[in-house]
Structure 1
Amino acid sequence: MLENIDSRLRQAFPQNAQISFGGISIILVGDLGQLPRVNDRPAYDSNRREKLLWGEFKTVVTLHKIFRQDGENFEQQRFCQLLTNLRDENPQIEDWKLLMTRIPPNMDAANNVEFDNTVHLFSTNDNVHNHNKKMLHLLKQPVARSVATKVGSVNIVEDCSSDELELELLISKDSRVMLTSNLWIQAGLVNGALGYIQKIVYKPGSAPPEPPSYVMVEFDNYSGLPFEDHHPSTILVTPIQKGRMLQLPLRLAWALTIHKSQGLTLPKATIDIGPRERIGLTFVAISRVKSLECLRIMPPFTYDHYEKMKNGRQLAKRKAEEYRLKVLEEA
């Protein structure tokens, strides 16, 4: 990614083509304790030119205030400390015991049922697909299959893959969906916005598997002008083009991978961290909610599984890089 940005900026500013990023000021924002890109290594651990580009960032500012888990009471401070330990890959037996209070056998029945329709976070795409398919079936509604339309003469699978658009999308009325593109940031229509489909509309003469003309989605946090006065949170979503692919910018969202949830704040979540711990995985999953009471863990995991995070192969490299950045900040 850094290499691509560097290359394009050198092209855009040819007078500075010999200078990194075309001489343009770049600000990187993020947390090294979160998940790296799928099947990729962090820039600081790369064998490519991006490691050199990463090394050119010399001004470091650390932000310390926690906003998602804000609160001064003891329970909230305890949850924040648990998350800090998770982020630092420093598992504690008392933290694990606290997390295990959020497994179904240790929750009262009414509280447990409340989580059945919450977003489920899984470590693998297969688990996400299976859960979404199960929930779609439970709606007992007709299902529309929307297959991405190719624009131009190329093969979509080979040339038109997009993180924002699905090659094939199954939807129905009342489907839980997530927006996958920034359509109107100021109004809350951003990548990651959650909602429910209210209506699927096709133009005359068209039908599945073509993408619909539009769908009406009631979003949880839409704050723009109402499309319909009696449904102020419902907005029209049409297919968009990315590269050579035309498709609705939506995906089913009863379940998401932990990778896809990165950056989201969820009102409640059910979490399955999977059989294998990866650096940042458990931290990202559990930190999607604002408090411990907003979390359900299913299935439970052993402390031995939890403790393995401190033995991650990448941990020593990340700690060394965080130390280097701290030295830069203090300087």
Structure 2
Amino acid sequence: MYMERGSMDEPISLSVYGTTDFKNLNMRQRLAFCAAMAGHNIFITGGGGVGKSHLIAALERHMRGIVLTAPTGVAAVNIKGQTLDRFMGFNTEYKTVHQVRKMRRDVRDRLEKLQVLLIDEVGTARCDKLDLVDARLKAAKKSKEPFGGVQVIFVGDFCQLKPVLNTKTEDGKLFQHDYGNRIYAFESESWQAANIQPHVLNEYFRQDDEMQRKILRFLRLGREIPKAVHFINQLAKGDVRDDALILCTTNSRADDINEDRYQTLSGQERIYRCIIDGHFTTRPAAEVIKLKPGARVMLLSNNPEKGYSNGDMGDVVKLSPSIVTVMLDRGYSVDVEQKEWEEFEYVAGEKGIEKEVSATFVQFPIRLAYAITIHKCQGLTLDSAIVDLTGGSFAEGQTYVALSRVRSFNNLKLAKKLSPRDVKFSPLAVDFTEYASNAAIARTGEDLEQFPQAA
């Protein structure tokens, strides 16, 4: 059921407040939901495990005309949306705001009808990308308003993994020439002009232990790092199994571990090949999966009927052409069948923007899981893990992302003792995050007066 949005500060249809979706949100999720429905430009932030993805799904179900995008293909598939570049009609080359004002007819047609643009994982979007979105929407809408008058909803955490920039490439050099030391989306001129209202989600669903949440906040915000590191080194000696998932800093390290462990298995190997229909731009699972009985695996999708969730770990016990039987660490076996992932595109329709399936990818939602990179585990919730920072962490937010994946430090093991040097963070991202969070909390009373149903 879609709800009509209110214009700024107008009342919202009361029927949305009676839905199960709305009732299942906590107060801060409800405040963000109401602000979005009222037409505000908003930024929804919070650490890992606070329910950002859950809120996005609720917004899509109830907001007419909303388009879901994300900077990467994996993030877009996770929210059943489209990559930001593909929706906006951008290619991978570096462009200036002047160059993107001209666009293909089909791109202009859909942007003319765009009402609400949501960008998830905005923390990984560079500032130039937001300025390009702003310039193209202004051109398509023939409007000088920020983002051409389109309502924008940004979701993400700037204290997790930051935007990628290779300064050795020609595009990287052009970017530095135009933007200097700026890189984050909130440093863009378009963000500054759009009167973005921050909303913070601070009720954690992943970790129950208050001390663990406090330590993770220290890591995320760069506070009392020696104290936090000492606490983690004392507690993260979990009694995890030897083949628990290892979180690594590099692809090469993860690949080597997976290959070495897999080669020790002696059972009959079975090979599963994917089926792709259309131009599927990302790979939610491997195109070719090789499995043997006893292989350690991770499941890559949610299937409540079958009894497994994205991130579940287990061991392969039986292989057939159509089913992979996995004994989960939870203590029961599940029959995993092939999954069809869909990629979407948004097209101009008679009544506005319409969402269509553009491509499908069919494969078993399984991957070898002796090891995985920290980048690939962002967004996952794990029952146990081994964190391997061999060589040290090299990216800001990387250590926080790794340590915040597990439900409890009691089920976490460190391959080597953590050092304060392993905890890298961006003071700029921390300052902005604290500013946004404090502003959202200080505005709570005012927001509840405007949206009393959120209480």
Normalising by structure 1, report the TM-score.
0.68
Letter in 2 for 1:116: D
| CA deviation map 1:11-62 (0-9, x unaligned) | 557445628889776644432222246669643356xxxx736964723221
Q: Give the conservation status (yes or no) of the 8 Å contact 2:340–2:360.
A: no
The equivalences for 1:199-218 within 5 A come to 199-202=318-321, 213-218=322-327
Q: Please state whether the residue corresponding to 2:200 is helix, strand or coil.
A: coil
- Tell me how far 1:181 sits from its aligned partner: 4.0
The equivalences for 1:74-93 within 5 A come to 76-77=210-211, 79-93=212-226
In structure 2, relative to structure 1, the CA distance for the partners of 1:54 and 1:220 (3 Å cut) is farther
Given the alignment of the two structures, is residue 43 of structure 1 paired with residue 185 of structure 2, yes or no? yes
In structure 2, relative to structure 1, the CA distance for the partners of 1:69 and 1:323 (3 Å cut) is closer
Give the Cα–Cα distance (whole angstroms) in 2 for the partners of residues 323 and 176 of structure 1.
40
Identical positions, percent = 25
The one of 244, 255, 280 aligned to 1:118: 244
Q: Please state whether the residue corresponding to 2:203 is helix, strand or coil.
A: coil
| Structure 2 counterpart of 1:209 | none
| Structure 1 counterpart of 2:63 | none
Give the Cα–Cα distance (whole angstroms) in 2 for the partners of residues 235 and 24 of structure 1.
45
Q: Give the conservation status (yes or no) of the 8 Å contact 1:91–1:306.
A: no
In structure 2, relative to structure 1, the CA distance for the partners of 1:326 and 1:95 (3 Å cut) is closer
The equivalences for 1:211-290 within 5 A come to 213-219=322-328, 233-238=333-338, 240=340, 243=359, 246-275=362-391, 276-290=393-407
Give the Cα–Cα distance (whole angstroms) in 2 for the partners of residues 64 and 160 of structure 1.
35
Give the Cα–Cα distance (whole angstroms) in 1 for the partners of residues 389 and 192 of structure 2.
30
Give the Cα–Cα distance (whole angstroms) in 1 for the partners of residues 253 and 379 of structure 2.
20
Give the Cα–Cα distance (whole angstroms) in 2 for the partners of residues 37 and 215 of structure 1.
37
- Tell me how far 1:283 sits from its aligned partner: 0.9
Q: Give the conservation status (yes or no) of the 8 Å contact 1:180–1:192.
A: yes
| CA deviation map 1:220-278 (0-9, x unaligned) | 579xxxxxxxx7x5133125366475433321122221122222222221101242332
The structure with the largest strand share of the pair is: 2
Given the alignment of the two structures, is residue 134 of structure 1 paired with residue 263 of structure 2, yes or no? no
Q: Please state whether the residue corresponding to 1:60 is helix, strand or coil.
A: strand
Q: Give the conservation status (yes or no) of the 8 Å contact 1:216–1:235.
A: yes
List runs of 5+ in structure 2 lacking aligned partners: 1-69, 72-83, 90-106, 115-139, 167-182, 343-358, 444-455
Normalising by structure 2, report the TM-score.
0.52
- Tell me how far 1:126 sits from its aligned partner: 1.5
| CA deviation map 1:49-81 (0-9, x unaligned) | xx736964723221223332323xxxx52x333
In structure 2, relative to structure 1, the CA distance for the partners of 1:267 and 1:319 (3 Å cut) is closer
Give the Cα–Cα distance (whole angstroms) in 1 for the partners of residues 148 and 272 of structure 2.
41
- Tell me how far 1:85 sits from its aligned partner: 1.3
- Tell me how far 1:179 sits from its aligned partner: 2.8
In structure 2, relative to structure 1, the CA distance for the partners of 1:60 and 1:301 (3 Å cut) is closer
In structure 2, relative to structure 1, the CA distance for the partners of 1:56 and 1:181 (3 Å cut) is farther
Q: Give the conservation status (yes or no) of the 8 Å contact 2:382–2:405.
A: yes
Q: Give the conservation status (yes or no) of the 8 Å contact 1:115–1:296.
A: no
The one of 406, 430, 443 aligned to 1:319: 430
In structure 2, relative to structure 1, the CA distance for the partners of 1:161 and 1:300 (3 Å cut) is farther
In structure 2, relative to structure 1, the CA distance for the partners of 1:45 and 1:60 (3 Å cut) is closer
Give the Cα–Cα distance (whole angstroms) in 2 for the partners of residues 173 and 95 of structure 1.
40
| Structure 1 counterpart of 2:88 | 7
In structure 2, relative to structure 1, the CA distance for the partners of 1:6 and 1:167 (3 Å cut) is closer
- Tell me how far 1:296 sits from its aligned partner: 0.8
Give the Cα–Cα distance (whole angstroms) in 1 for the partners of residues 330 and 241 of structure 2.
20
| Higher RCO (CA < 8 A, seq sep 6+) | 1
In structure 2, relative to structure 1, the CA distance for the partners of 1:257 and 1:296 (3 Å cut) is same
Letter in 1 for 2:384: K
**How well do the aligned residues superpose, as a CA RMSD in angstroms?**
3.8
Give the Cα–Cα distance (whole angstroms) in 2 for the partners of residues 54 and 218 of structure 1.
51
Give the Cα–Cα distance (whole angstroms) in 1 for the partners of residues 387 and 309 of structure 2.
23
Give the Cα–Cα distance (whole angstroms) in 2 for the partners of residues 306 and 239 of structure 1.
38
Letter in 2 for 1:197: V
- Tell me how far 1:285 sits from its aligned partner: 1.0
Q: Please state whether the residue corresponding to 1:61 is helix, strand or coil.
A: strand
In structure 2, relative to structure 1, the CA distance for the partners of 1:4 and 1:302 (3 Å cut) is closer
| Structure 2 counterpart of 1:306 | 422
| CA deviation map 1:182-216 (0-9, x unaligned) | 5x4676655434343332223xxxxxxxxxx4423
The one of 179, 184, 188 aligned to 2:299: 179
